[in-house]
């Protein structure tokens, strides 16, 4: 690698690392993995720098590399071939599809939506319950807010069918709701 290129790259590391990291963290919500993606972005940039013609700004170019890495990251996560187990739903539904008597969603009485969402304890329970889900499931329910994309776009990027996607979301949400109800109302 010649000296000019090394100087450019070091300058870019200094200038753009922070922005790239914040973006990656916002998109994937995992600081360790976000750091890895930013590092990989610069390594890829070092490899491909010959093809960077200065037509876009270095920042735009680095962000486009990072965005590809983020998409790959999600594709790997969500397309892992975990079979959709029906066992997970058998906890909640009878064979004919009705709720099990003991797992029916209860009336969350005296609960004001807005107050609830401001409540630190509720947020903590939500986080705990999200963390308890299989990684693929918790990623799936967060994707919409991470990527600010709609269902069609999410499925297209991930290369999965729409029905496969919302079935994963359904399983995740049924479990999440149950976990929150148990934890929130146990006291």
Partner 1 sequence: MMHILLLSCLKATELIEKRFYFKLSFKERLQLKLHKTMCDACTNYEKHSRIIEKGIEIYQKKQHNEMDMTLLKSQINLRLHNTEN
Instruction: Determine how many CB atoms are found less than 10 A away from the CB of residue 16.
Output: 22
Residue with Cβ nearer partner 1 (13 or 67): 13
Site for partner 1 (CB under 8 A): which residue of 7, 56, 85, 105? Answer: 105
Site for partner 1 (CB under 8 A): which residue of 88, 116, 136, 157? Answer: 116
**Which long-range contacts link 137-144 to residues 24+ away (Cβ below 8 Å)?**
137/168, 137/171, 137/172, 137/175, 138/172, 139/74, 139/77, 139/78, 140/78, 140/165, 140/168, 140/169, 140/172, 141/169, 141/172, 141/173, 141/176, 142/29, 143/74, 143/78
Q: How far is the CB of 6 from partner 1 (least distance, A)?
A: 7
Distance CA 170, CA 93 (A): 13
Is 165 a residue that touches partner 1 (CB under 8 A)? Answer: yes
Residue with Cβ nearer partner 1 (7 or 64): 7
Question: What binding mask, one character per residue, do residues 65-84 give for partner 1 by CB under 8 A, x or -?
Answer: --------------------
Site for partner 1 (CB under 8 A): which residue of 64, 80, 82, 150? Answer: 150
**133 three-class SS:** coil
Taking CB under 8 A as the binding criterion, the range among 55-63, 65-73, 74-82, 117-125 that sits at the site for partner 1 is 117-125
Distance CA 153, CA 82 (A): 22
Query: Residue 131's Cα: distance from chain center in Å?
Result: 12
Q: How far is the CB of 81 from partner 1 (least distance, A)?
A: 22
Taking CB under 8 A as the binding criterion, the range among 13-21, 53-61, 62-70, 73-81 that sits at the site for partner 1 is 13-21
Binding site for partner 1 (CB under 8 A): 1, 6, 9-10, 13-14, 17-18, 21-22, 25-26, 29, 31, 35, 38-39, 42-43, 46-47, 89, 93, 96-99, 104-108, 111, 113, 116-117, 122-123, 126-127, 130, 141-142, 144-146, 150-152, 154, 162, 165-167, 169-170, 173-174, 176-177, 180-181
């Amino acid at each position: 690698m010649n000296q000019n290129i090394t100087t450019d790259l070091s300058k870019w590391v200094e200038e753009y690392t922070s922005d790239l990291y914040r973006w990656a963290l916002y998109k994937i919500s995992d600081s360790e993995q976000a750091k890895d993606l930013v590092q990989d972005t610069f390594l890829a940039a070092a490899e491909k720098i010959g093809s960077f013609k200065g037509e876009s700004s270095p920042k735009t170019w680095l962000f486009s590399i990072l965005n590809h890495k983020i998409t790959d990251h999600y594709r790997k996560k969500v397309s892992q071939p975990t079979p959709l187990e029906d066992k997970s739903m058998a906890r909640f539904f009878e064979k004919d599809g009705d709720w099990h008597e003991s797992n029916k969603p209860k009336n969350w009485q005296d609960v004001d939506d807005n107050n609830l969402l401001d409540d630190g304890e509720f947020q903590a329970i939500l986080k705990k319950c999200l963390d308890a889900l299989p990684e693929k499931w918790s990623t799936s329910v967060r994707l919409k807010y991470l990527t600010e994309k709609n269902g069609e776009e999410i499925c297209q990027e991930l290369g999965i069918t729409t029905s496969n996607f919302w079935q994963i979301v359904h399983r995740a949400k049924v479990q999440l709701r149950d976990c929150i109800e148990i934890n929130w109302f146990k006291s």
